[in-house]
Chains A and B, each alone.
Chain A
Amino acid sequence: MMMFDYLANPTRFRKITTAILPVAVLVSAIALAFGLYLAFLASPADYQQGETVRIMYIHVPAAWMAMMCYLLMALSAVFYLVWRHPLADIGARAMALPGAGFALITLLTGSFWGRPMWGTWWVWDARLTSMLILFFLYLGYMALADGFERAERGSKPASLLLLVGVINLPIIKFSVDWWNTLHQGSSVLRLDGPSIDPAMLKPLLIMALAMLGWFIAITILRMNTLIMRRRITNLESRKSWS
């Protein structure tokens, strides 16, 4: 909360984020190079799934990011609805497109993995359907947030949608335990520790780091764009009154 107040000053926000952005880009680039090396050259094929297991190294980190991004947006929505911080609203708006991108990557790469391993591109089971709903929540949020002449008018309904949609996150996470599904169960975030082989866990985590760096950089860039956009709106309305 304190940190949020501190960051809520636009000038300070600009200053801090301009310092973070190049670091995030650098971390992302290095992690991507290393992650690609691990994913394709330094990790073994799966004993059951063969080389298709390499799809996992983009599919799973993207799924993590899609869920984390939604959670961050929902938290921003709380900050916006309770404390009326415009920067919280701008943050959620900035994260929506990269979040939707991660959800789409998860769905598409999952399809390309399911086809050779399950024999189908798609099945309406709990895991896949709840992930599709997450993607639609992102699209719905963007449509609501940007659906008004004055951008701020969409903020409240869009934030409420985010809060309602949070219920979907535990459903995605636990869908593989609660329902029968083709989708394999968790092998990383388990109560009894990761069951996945370290040689496969490492590329997963490094690729997740690459995506996280990218996500932070893109969010900062988009937030600054939205701040500039609001300034333009203010300047123009002032002009039309004078």
Chain B
Amino acid sequence: MVMSHFFTMGGYAFYVWSSWAIGMAILIAITWHSISHARITRNELDALEHPKQQRDSDA
């Protein structure tokens, strides 16, 4: 496929690239949400299980 044809998608660039952009954005958003939740929860649990160490590391 020629480079310019790749970007224009035979005149359907808007539809093809929007679809892929939306799809990827949704997958990335869910990934980010899941990772950040895992981090927050891990920290919360660590603070509960090892309250002393947490205080030491805070100081």
Query: Is A50 among interface residues, defined by CB-CB distance under 8 A?
Result: yes
Residue contact B41 to A52, C-beta cutoff 8 Å: no
* Contact indicator per residue, chain A 23-42, by CB within 8 Å of chain B (1) or not (0): 00000000000000000110
With an 8 Å Cβ cutoff, the count of chain B residues facing the other chain is 29
8 Å CB interface, B19-59 against A: 19-20, 22-23, 26-27, 29-31, 33-35, 37-38, 41-42, 44-45, 48-49
A-B pair count, CB < 8 Å, reads 91
**With A and B bound together, what is the CA distance between A53 and B27 in angstroms?**
21
Closest beta carbon of chain A to B13's beta carbon, Å: 8
Cβ of A175 within 8 Å of any chain B Cβ, yes or no, is no
CB closest chain-B residue, reference A45: B10
Q: Is the interface of A mostly helix, strand, loop or mixed?
A: helix
Q: Which B residues are in CB contact (< 8 Å) with A109?
A: 19-20, 22-23
Q: Cβ of A116 and Cβ of B15 under 8 Å apart?
A: yes
Residue pair B26, A105 in contact (C-beta under 8 Å): yes
B20, B22, B37 — which one has the most chain A CB atoms within 10 A of its CB? B20
A139 to chain B, nearest CB (A): 14
